[in-house]
A and B are shown apart, each in its own frame.
Chain A
């Protein structure tokens, strides 16, 4: 190929400018610390960089949330501690024996006053705020959750009296009827439960004591009912407790609420359906294992259904129950997910809610006592204020308060565990942050040593190119011609 002056010059210029371009690029990389400044330089790294930047931002959010969550839990824990101190104080210093002090009325009145003060204190503690929100208010953080009436008798949580009975429980009763004849020794009484389980329960009538029931008992409907209830309870239904009352078999729902109704998170449902009852048959054992059906005894099921009505506060109890189940999830990067109904799946986020009624209790127990500590304290004070000291009643309340104190301590433990989870999460997040930073640097950043070496090399190449330029461009044959 014929090489011409302009060809050399043009190619030299092209090469020089691309060398300068390389110098510029490596200069920019060293100066900015970034390998990629525009997506076109490396689209996939730029995209990865974007993803990492986003993860970094989320990591910062999660870290903030975790730190904040710890403070939030600390406030809750503070409340629990204060409540616990009060409760322990009462349990230790306000026992029946202390009240039975011979110093009499004046002493009790002083105690009563103290109890009233403690009661108020406990309410103050429960209405503690963090930032603008009440920490024990569940999902209603803007309003003080607990209000104690002037006389100290009524405590409301978000407007609902805490001393409401649970929902009525469904109770079904079945009569055991013995029409004619009587059971004999070696009879087998077979009780068949309702579908779908259709389980059978055999009661052996043995007078030698090896069976479930003696002949005399079998022929007494009340005793028979008792034996059948004993056989069936805990096996026939998970939703009902089965007991005997007179000659009746009583199915009592374990949970309150109307049949088929749903309250709360699904685990505390009232029974989904009424119990289906049962049938009773019997047979005689001839001693060799051959059974002959009895015809002289007819024991049938009753079909009368009786639903016992609730005492008070059906709706209120539901309301309190709903409050007690409230959650306040924060996103800590556990991959927050929702179920089909649009509720957060508990394992995918962190629950910061601690509704106050879960701590101090609500509702009335089977003995008619309040489950609420503050109400109990009020009631104790009330007894002390009366002229006649009812030490039995006081003792019962005191025992109840003591057992509720244990519940309170359980809540403290739960909070501690949650706090620990936050601590580990925080550690994990700070570790993840380091990982992200490292990955980000690998993806869009430079390796300093490489970048500087590249830069120096690019500079060297450029200098060489310039040097070559001065050497090639000028000389031509012209420079060697003698004129």
Chain B
């Protein structure tokens, strides 16, 4: 084939242009070396192959490529690492939120290096000790010293209570003014970007920088709650394809795993919390998610899905758990703000109640040292106060409970000291965490079970049969049926499997025990009603033998106990220290979790950087590389020029 005379120039020009554009990309990379979220770009080049075949194909000719082609500028990014990174961000979000709240609680209860409740309680003991000496027992100044020590303690207790309210209030405010609006803003920004990216891509621009921005926003969203990101290719026709973004939130609602769509291309859902009439957040916090696909007009809370307990990680998880849960006090497994508030209230209640109880005279009259400011009969850290009577001096510490005791007998003061210092007290979480327990004793007289076909348990109009089969296919064998405990266990199992969602039914010996699954009083927070009664009959074929097995059921069930949960057993001081110790252990644990997550996150970030981030060395090398290739292309052009010069000006001039 004949080579076009000037074709070499074109090739050189492509090469010069490619090198120049590559230097531009390198420049862009170097310029953005410190831009957050910037993904390094690359000029995609391919070589131009010799075009087609010629009719003048000759075996004596060779085909050479036509130079270099710029295919486009692309990003170097690994979507798998992005997902990993975001999952880790959500996990870190939980730990971060929890740690920062625990830090605030620590400022209230951590008395490792400060003098507060513990020292002040100790001072009360010292003042009581001072009162417990003959020379001061009868003086009113010694009594006043105990009282002022109590006032000091109460001040700190009130301070702690209001600090804890602040912790809660601050967190609610953060949720209201920062977290929820922030998520809302992110969703809107992402929506805008989705639209812009689509518009740009339609014009053939890859919109790399916009995608970087979007990825940054998605990363930020991922710190709040767990998300799953996917892209869908949308064919706009005429060979134009654009990527659309889908963000889903994996949740478990009513025991079912679901993926709720939060962003679907340019449609976005919303997240909000239930509010009171005045717009403040209602407690306990309830979180709702309205899906992107939900086009109804209702508000997020009205039409959305309640996902309060539905997701695992993220700042929202940490914040909501800390606000809503108080472990043993509400039967959850997380020690939130409520746990520390309730522990403290429990301690204050025990202190005030017992001191009042101990302050009783020889005639059994109680003289209250402490009262509640709101008239409630339960003391809390906020309502405890020194009784007006004590303040006025109408009531004093009762020195002795002996009849006709002398003016300085002080046996009662010693009892108070002992109570504060060394009495072991069982602290119980009462009220909400109480669990209803009912028992019903079966009177079973073991006997001959020959011909016993089934034991029938009737609950209301429903009949459940315990089949007696000797081949093992039934619920009991007739031999087993002679053992009262096995019979009771079979009845309990039958009832448990078939009746009453609210109670777990077990057998203890021959007594059926109905334990409420949820805490709280029957008819309120706990089960809706007491367990129903039942009756038991034995079904013999053909007829019962002499001395047959007799089961007399007690059809009514008796409430056994409210089932107060024991929270802590120990002295007053130990119980208060326990708050600090628990807090310390929690914070230490969460800090460790946070650090673990952080380490993993850093590793993933390293991997991400390894793929996507700009290396200055590499880019500078590229500078050299592309400047060299530019130079080389110029040389190619010069060479072409020289040979053409030879051809044009130096050819056929022999003899001139």
Which residues of A approach B to under 8 Å, CB–CB? 1-7, 10-11, 14, 32, 34, 36-44, 46-47, 49-51, 53-54, 57-58, 60-61, 64-65, 68, 72, 130-133, 135, 137-143, 158, 326, 328-331, 335-338, 342-344, 349, 352-353, 444, 476-478, 481
Cα distance, A150 to B372, chains bound together (Å): 55
A6 near B414: Cβ-Cβ < 8 Å: no
Residues of the A chain whose Cβ atoms lie less than 8 Å from the Cβ of B406:
137-141, 158, 326
* Closest A residue by C-beta to B421: A58
Contact A40 B409 (CB under 8 A): no
Shortest CB–CB separation between residue A422 and chain B, in angstroms?
13
The distance from the CB of B144 to the nearest CB of chain A, in whole angstroms, is: 14
Return the contact of A139 from the options B119, B122, B405, B620 (Cβ within 8 A): B405
- Given contacts A47-B577, A139-B408, A7 and B613 within 8 Å (CB-CB): yes
> Is the CB–CB distance between A46 and B138 below 8 Å?
no
B407 within 8 Å of A (CB atoms):
yes
Contact B407 A39 (CB under 8 A): no
Residues from chain A with Cβ under 8 Å of B111 in the complex: 50
Q: Across the interface, do B125 and A130 meet the contact criterion of CB distance under 8 Å? A: no
Whether B112 sits at the interface, judged by CB under 8 Å, is yes
Binding site for A on B (CB under 8 A): 33-34, 102, 106, 110-113, 118-119, 122-123, 125-126, 129, 132-139, 400-401, 405-411, 414-415, 417-418, 421-422, 573, 577, 580-581, 583-588, 591, 602, 605-607, 609-611, 613-618, 620-621, 623-624
Quick check: B112 and A39 within 8 Å, CB to CB? yes
Kindly provide the distance from the CB of B216 to the nearest chain A CB, expressed in whole angstroms.
Answer: 14
Q: Are A481 and B624 in contact (CB under 8 A)?
A: yes
Within the complex, which residue of B418, B584, B605, B614 is in contact with A5, where a contact is CB–CB below 8 Å? B614
| Bound form: Cα–Cα A60–B591 in Å | 38
Asked if A344 contacts B411 (CB within 8 A), the reply is yes
State whether B615 touches A2 (Cβ < 8 A): yes
The one of A1, A338, A349 in contact with B415, judged by C-beta atoms closer than 8 angstroms, is A338
Q: In the complex the two chains form, what is the Cα distance from A207 to B587 in whole Å?
A: 99
A43→B581 contact, CB < 8 A: yes
Chain A residues near B421 (CB, 8 Å)?
58
Please state if B584 and A38 are interface contacts (CB–CB under 8 Å): yes
Q: A139-B409, A336-B418, A476-B616 are in contact. Are A7 and B118 (CB under 8 A)?
A: no
Asked if B602 contacts A5 (CB within 8 A), the reply is no
6 contacts between A and B (CB under 8 A): A4-B609, A49-B112, A133-B408, A141-B134, A141-B407, A326-B406
Given contacts A328-B408, A330-B132, contact A46 B573 (CB under 8 A): no
Contact status B415-A342, CB under 8 Å? yes
Residue of A nearest to B114 (CB): A37
**Among B122, B137, B613, B617, which residue has its beta carbon within 8 angstroms of that of A477?**
B617
B110–A38 contact, CB under 8 A?
Answer: yes
- Chain A residue at smallest Cβ distance from B620: A477
Expressed in whole angstroms, the minimum distance between the Cβ of B141 and any Cβ of chain A is 9
Residue of B nearest to A72 (CB): B135
Contact A352 B134 (CB under 8 A): yes
Expressed in whole angstroms, the minimum distance between the Cβ of B333 and any Cβ of chain A is 20
Residue of B nearest to A140 (CB): B406
Contact of B112 among A6, A444, A481 (CB under 8 A): A444
Point out the residues of chain A lying under 8 angstroms from B112, CB to CB. 36-39, 46, 49-50, 444
Question: Complex Cα distance A329/B409, Å?
Answer: 10
**Complex CA–CA separation, A198 to B133 (angstroms):** 51
Known contacts A4-B613, A38-B110, A61-B125; A343 and B411 CB within 8 A of each other: yes
List residues of chain A with CB within 8 A of the CB of B618. Answer: 4
Please tell me which one of the listed residues A1, A43, A330 contacts residue B606 in the complex, with CB atoms under 8 A apart: A1
Contacts of B602 in A (CB 8 A): 10-11, 14
- Find B138's partner among A41, A64, A68, A142 (CB 8 Å cutoff): A142
A5 touches B573 (CB 8 A): no
For the A-B complex with A4-B609, A54-B118 known, give 15 more contacts whose Cβ atoms are closer than 8 Å: A34-B113, A38-B106, A38-B584, A39-B112, A39-B580, A46-B580, A47-B584, A57-B123, A58-B122, A68-B135, A133-B135, A329-B132, A330-B133, A477-B617, A478-B616
Chain B residue with minimal CB distance to A5?
Answer: B616
Q: Most B CB atoms within 10 A — which of A335, A338, A444? A: A338
Query: 5 closest pairs, A vs B, by CB?
Result: A39-B584, A140-B406, A139-B406, A141-B408, A43-B584
A342 to B611, CA, bound (A): 77
Neighbouring B residues of A36 by C-beta, 8 Å: 112-113
Contact between chains at A6 and B620 (CB < 8 Å): no
Give bound CA distance, A37 to B106, whole Å: 11
What is the CA–CA distance of A330 and B406 in the complex, to the nearest angstrom? 16
Report B-chain residues with C-beta under 8 Å of the C-beta of A60. Answer: 126
CA distance A304 to B414 in the complex (A): 50
Point out the residues of chain A lying under 8 angstroms from B422, CB to CB: 335-336
CB distance from A264 to the nearest CB of B (A): 14
